[in-house]
Amino acid sequence: MDEIGDFLSAYSTLIALVGVNALLALSVWVTLYAGQLTLGNAAFMAIGAYVSALLGRHLGTPFPIALVIGAIAAGATAAPLGLTVFRLRGVYLAIATLAFGEVVRVILLATPITGKGQGLNGIPPTTEVWHVYVSLAVVAYVLWRVQGSTVGRAWAAIREDETAAASQGIPVRRYKLAAFVAGALVAAWAGGLSAHLTFSIEPNDFAFTRAVQILVFAVVGGIPNPLGPIFGAALLTALPELLRPLKDYRDILQGLILLLVIIYLPRGLVTLAQLRRTRRLQEIGAADVA
């Protein structure tokens, strides 16, 4: 028991970051499940982080209320943005949301209250590991339930063929906007938790590389169900720590993992179990025929 306690004490921050990144991966999973490639989740994370941090630091707002207000601020920003950018599709949508992320970053760099380029320091350290994992469990459960609901089936139909979905009476724009706002809410909540975990934030924490990293978590883990992004985030967050002796090659190894997954498991690592089950059924079928 002492060894477990020492391990948790030494790696508590890393364990919490795994949970935060899993939340971020789920935030982009929502839009990917609805067939929309967006790169604005880092910006929504920034909004949640800065709003909650400023409220806690300057106004003494209770931690849960600050998180809720940060998430609402991101959702209120996502709604009009979604109405505008969802006129676009494919790579143009990704570029538009990426541009939004850069606009948010530049605003943070130019605004005195956010600390400009130096960011915010001395954020109240109120996030605990159980806060992160309770949030992750709730979000994952809700998304898992949504998959089998009317909303989830509508998202899946839009992903497969937007025109066919519209012909069946599905209000495509409304459901796409709902996915976009839901992703923004989750990303902002994760941002608030992260800000109160690391005690300091700066605009470059939410730059282009962060947006791509969030997307990679979901792609490597897999899109078929919410477990995929969680697995991808856990793997790619813990990997740098596991590969500390090879620190000069960590980025190369992560890139290699992404490349191999895209080539051999385009639906993500979570489909490994399905592939094994399919091969087993094929072997049984072949044996029956023989």
- Per residue in 222-231, pLDDT (tens digit) is 888 888 899 9
C-alpha dihedral sign at 165, 169, 175, 177: positive
Is the pTM of the predicted complex or chain greater than 0.85?
yes
Domain at 66, CATH number: 1.10.3470
Which pLDDT does position 84 carry in this prediction? 86
pLDDT in tens, 44-59: 999 999 999 999 888 8
Render the burial of 14-46: b for 16+ CB within 10 Å, e for the rest. Answer: ebbbbbbbbbbbbbbbbbbbbbbbbbbbbbbbb
Q: What is the mean pLDDT of residues 179-199?
A: 93
Residue type, 20: V
Which pLDDT does position 240 carry in this prediction? 74
Q: Given a cut of 50, is residue 192 above it in pLDDT?
A: yes
**Domains: count for the chain:** 1
Render the burial of 215-225: b for 16+ CB within 10 Å, e for the rest. Answer: bbbbbbbbbeb
Residue 120's DSSP bridge partners are: 201
Please tell me the distance from the alpha carbon of residue 5 to that of residue 3, in angstroms, as a whole number.
5
Contact 126, 57 (CB under 8 A): no
Contact 188, 75 (CB under 8 A): yes
Q: Given a cut of 70, is residue 38 above it in pLDDT?
A: yes
pLDDT-based confidence at residue 77 (cuts at 50, 70, 90): very high
Q: Which range of residues forms the domain containing residue 134?
A: 2-289
Q: What is the mean pLDDT of residues 22-50?
A: 92
pLDDT in tens, 102-141: 999 999 998 888 888 888 888 888 889 999 999 999 999 9
